Each structure stands twice: as structure tokens, then as C-alpha cells.
């Protein structure tokens, strides 16, 4: 079909077609960048923590009676003996935090003693004993786990750090980016001057803060801390978690009346709470994308319906001269394709520009290569579906009726 007459007809109604083209462009710009953010947030929500989340839970023991430091040590040991000897429990530790909890410790690590340098790397710190690797269900991919004799109690008024650490592969890569061999045996410095020797490397263990840019950088430290507030992490045999949670809560509460057991939570609950903002953003952006798509489709329907009404006589004449119904439908489909193409080309350029600005301003990931083409195809299909109804109505106009309408 010759597009010359179609183009000339469009020029006679420039305002309507320009508005639709701009609407398509704006919709594509917002749509593909919203989809990019949705992909990024969905990937964050699905990112593995490193734990056996289905079979892990945590809770806190809080003393409300003053205990001496040695008494607190005894209580922690007694609690861990009770927990670990409960049928169905695979492993348990007392730790300062765990992945996704949104609270914990971080420290700067450097390769030279002294003041921290711009090359220093921040890492999440987990205080554990020799059961930490098993409780977190971690795989030591290089080196070994802590030996029991390497685990110490923190000393009051002594800020010296333990001499050993197990790091994630991501932390090792950040500290020694040019290293192609093993990180085991290397030394880093914490707290300015305290040397820490790497004894093991684990694949994945998230930091407690899911939105932190260094979320994959974590280190296990073999130290126990006798506090009035103790957080326990427990890993159970598959399918035993929900049964053991109330059992252990009651047993621990009964074993010592000078404290309360609280904040009993599964890793699934922790994950949901950690990503509640991301989940809400995904829903909002999905709604915006859907709403803009519907508005764009309605705009195309409105313009096409207006054109059909305005060109009733013209359509009737074409029908009287032998134009078939498919030819009339094709006319409006091509017309819409031209308008959509202009909007989609402009929208693609705007989408790329907006994404570049967002990457620089908010440290987002660049759009995947297929997002813009997919958005173009989706909006083109929406446009063709939207114009199909008015086009069919135009094709059903009888030549005689159209002629009388003049």
C-alpha cells in the first residue's frame, strides 16, 4: 500500500498524531526504566544469603538481672548445650548478627598497619565459634574452618582483635584484586594495627544490610562475646524448624528465669522484612507501567475513533471505488504503525538517556540489552491491538451511508 496518502492525511491532523507519538515515547521511556528497576530489585530480593534459610531461625536472650561476666559466659554455654543437644537441631551458635537482619558490625580492613587508607575495604563482621560455618551452612572453598582452640572470649576493656578470619570470596577479591591464587595465609589489618590471618574462604555470606553496596563482603571472626543480650542462630534438620521454635523457646525460658526469650523469627520472615521496601517499589512500578500502557492504548483508540468519524465520507468513497474491508483495516494499521514508530524511536533515545542519568546518580545497573527492544515490541503490539477495533468499525462503513453523510 502506498503510504503517501496516509502521510498526507496525518499531516492534516498533526496535533493529534504528535500527541500520540509523544505519549508513546514517554510511556516507553518510563516503562523500560521501570522494568530495569524491577529487574534489579527482584534480583536483590532473590539474592542468596548463603544460609540454609528454610531450616534456620534466630532469637534473642535478654537478661533483666545483673550477671557478672563469668556468669554470662556460663549461661551462654549452658544455652548452647541445651540447644545443640535437642533432637532435630543440626547446629547452633551465639553471634552478633546474621544476613538480612539489618543490624550488625562492619569494620575497615587494610593491607598495611596504621591509619585506614583510601584502599581500605569495609566488611561485615560476624562473631562465631567453630560451629559458625556449619550453622550458617557455609562451604569452605579454600582453607579450613576455625579450630576450637582459635576461638576466644572477648576481654573487657581490650579491643585487640582475634588473629584469624574466614572471608568471603568477594571480600578477598576486593582486598587483593590482582591475586589469581589463594587468599589463605594472607594478612590484613583491622582496627588500624591488629593483624588478621586468613585461614579460610567461603563462597557466599551476605552482610546484614541488604541495600549495602558491599553486601557480599563478610568475615567470620572466632570470638565469643558475653553480653546481656545474646542472639542465637539455629539450623535444624529439614522440616523440623517450625516444630523446634516453640520447643526451644519454652525450654530456654524454663532453664533460667532471669531472662526473656524474644524476637523468635525464621529466615523467611527476616528476608520478607528486609526487602519490604523493594517489594513495595516493585508493586508501585508495575502498577505505573500497567497504567501508562492502558492510557497509551486508550489514547490510540481515541485518536483512531476520531479519525474514523472525521473520515467517514472518505472511507465511504474508497469503499464505493472498490476498496476492500481488509484494505481499510490495513490503512489504519499502517497509519498507527507510522505514529508508533516515531514515538518508539524517540522513546528509545530518551530511555537510554534517562538510564544513563540514573546509573550515574543512583548507582543502578545499566539496562539489559533486551529491555528496550522488548518494550518497543510490546508497545507496538499494544498500539496495533488498540487500533484494531476502530479500524474494523471503519471497514464496516457502508458506501451508501458514508456518501449520504456528506
Predicted confidence band of residue 323 (pLDDT cuts 50, 70, 90): confident
The reported pLDDT for the residue numbered 402 is 52
Whether the predicted pLDDT of 230 surpasses 90: yes
Cα–Cα distances in angstroms (integers) from residue 46 to residues 42, 210, 268, 274, in the given order? 6, 11, 12, 12
Answer yes or no: are the C-beta atoms of 138 and 205 closer than 8 Å: yes
Judged against a pLDDT cut of 90, whether residue 157 lies above it is answered with no
DSSP string covering 72-122, please? HHHHHHHHHHHHHTSTTEEEEEEES--TTSS--EEEEEESSSSS--TT-EE
Overall pTM > 0.75: yes
Backbone angles phi, psi at 236, to 5 degrees: -110, 170
Would the pLDDT of 406 be above 50?
no
The confidence score (pLDDT) of residue 401 equals 61
pLDDT digit string, tens, across residues 63-105: 998 999 999 999 999 999 999 999 999 999 999 999 999 999 9
pLDDT band at 116 (very low <50, low <70, confident <90, very high): low
pLDDT confidence of residue 186:
95
Is the pLDDT confidence value at 180 over 50?
yes
Q: Is the pLDDT of residue 403 over 70?
A: no
Band of pLDDT at residue 59, cut at 50, 70 and 90: very high
Please write the tens of the pLDDT for every residue from 191-216: 878 999 999 999 999 999 998 989 99
Q: How far apart are CA 347 and CA 345, in angstroms?
A: 5
The more confidently predicted of residues 2 and 132 is 132
Q: What are phi and psi of 37, to 5 degrees?
A: -65, -40
Q: Do residues 68 and 241 lie in contact, with contact meaning Cβ atoms separated by under 8 Å?
A: no
pLDDT exceeds 80 at position 318: no
On the CB side of 232, how many CA atoms lie within 13 Å of its CA?
Answer: 28
Cβ neighbors of 205 (< 8 A, separation 6 or more) are 49, 50, 51, 99, 126, 136, 138, 168, 218, 220
Residue 218 grid cell: 563478610
**Section 260-265 average pLDDT:** 96
Amino acid at each position: 500500500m502506498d503510504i503517501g496518502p496516509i502521510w498526507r492525511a496525518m499531516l492534516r491532523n498533526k496535533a493529534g498524531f504528535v500527541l500520540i507519538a509523544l505519549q508513546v515515547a514517554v510511556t516507553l521511556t518510563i516503562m523500560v526504566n521501570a522494568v530495569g528497576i524491577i529487574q534489579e530489585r527482584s534480583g536483590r530480593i532473590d539474592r542468596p544469603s548463603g544460609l540454609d534459610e528454610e531450616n534456620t531461625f534466630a532469637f534473642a536472650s535478654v537478661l533483666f538481672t545483673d550477671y557478672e561476666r563469668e556468669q554470662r559466659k556460663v549461661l551462654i554455654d549452658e544455652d548452647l548445650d541445651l540447644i545443640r543437644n535437642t533432637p532435630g537441631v543440626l547446629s547452633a551458635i551465639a553471634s552478633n548478627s546474621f544476613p538480612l537482619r539489618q543490624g550488625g558490625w562492619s569494620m575497615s580492613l587494610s593491607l598495611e598497619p596504621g591509619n585506614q587508607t583510601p584502599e581500605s575495604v569495609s566488611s561485615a563482621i560476624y562473631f562465631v565459634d567453630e560451629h559458625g560455618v556449619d550453622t550458617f551452612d557455609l562451604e569452605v572453598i579454600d582453607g579450613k574452618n576455625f579450630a576450637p582452640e582459635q576461638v576466644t572470649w572477648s576481654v573487657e576493656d581490650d579491643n585487640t582483635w582475634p588473629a584469624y578470619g574466614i572471608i568471603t570470596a568477594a571480600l578477598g577479591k576486593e582486598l587483593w584484586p590482582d591475586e589469581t591464587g589463594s587468599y589463605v595465609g594472607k594478612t590484613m589489618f583491622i582496627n588500624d594495627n591488629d593483624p588478621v590471618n586468613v585461614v579460610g574462604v567461603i563462597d557466599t555470606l551476605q552482610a546484614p544490610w541488604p541495600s549495602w553496596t558491599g553486601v557480599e563482603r563478610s568475615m567470620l571472626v572466632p570470638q565469643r562475646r558475653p553480653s546481656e543480650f545474646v542472639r542465637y542462630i539455629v539450623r535444624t534438620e529439614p522440616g523440623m524448624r517450625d516444630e523446634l521454635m516453640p520447643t526451644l523457646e519454652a525450654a530456654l525460658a524454663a532453664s533460667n528465669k532471669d531472662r526473656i526469650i524474644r524476637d523468635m523469627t525464621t529466615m523467611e520472615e527476616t528476608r520478607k522484612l528486609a526487602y519490604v521496601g523493594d517489594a513495595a517499589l516493585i508493586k508501585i512500578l508495575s502498577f505505573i507501567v500497567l497504567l501508562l500502557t492502558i492510557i497509551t492504548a486508550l489514547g490510540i483508540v481515541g485518536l483512531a475513533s476520531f479519525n474514523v468519524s472525521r473520515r467517514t465520507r472518505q472511507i465511504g468513497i474508497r469503499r464505493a471505488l472498490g476498496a476492500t474491508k481488509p484494505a481499510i483495516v490495513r490503512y489504519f494499521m499502517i497509519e498507527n504503525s507510522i505514529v508508533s514508530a516515531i514515538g518508539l524511536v524517540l522513546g528509545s533515545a530518551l530511555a537510554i538517556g534517562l538510564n544513563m542519568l540514573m546509573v550515574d546518580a543512583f548507582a543502578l545497573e545499566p539496562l539489559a540489552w533486551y529491555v528496550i527492544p522488548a518494550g518497543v515490541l510490546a508497545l507496538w503490539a499494544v498500539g496495533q491491538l488498540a487500533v484494531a477495533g476502530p479500524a474494523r468499525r471503519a471497514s464496516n462503513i457502508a458506501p451508501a451511508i458514508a456518501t449520504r453523510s456528506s
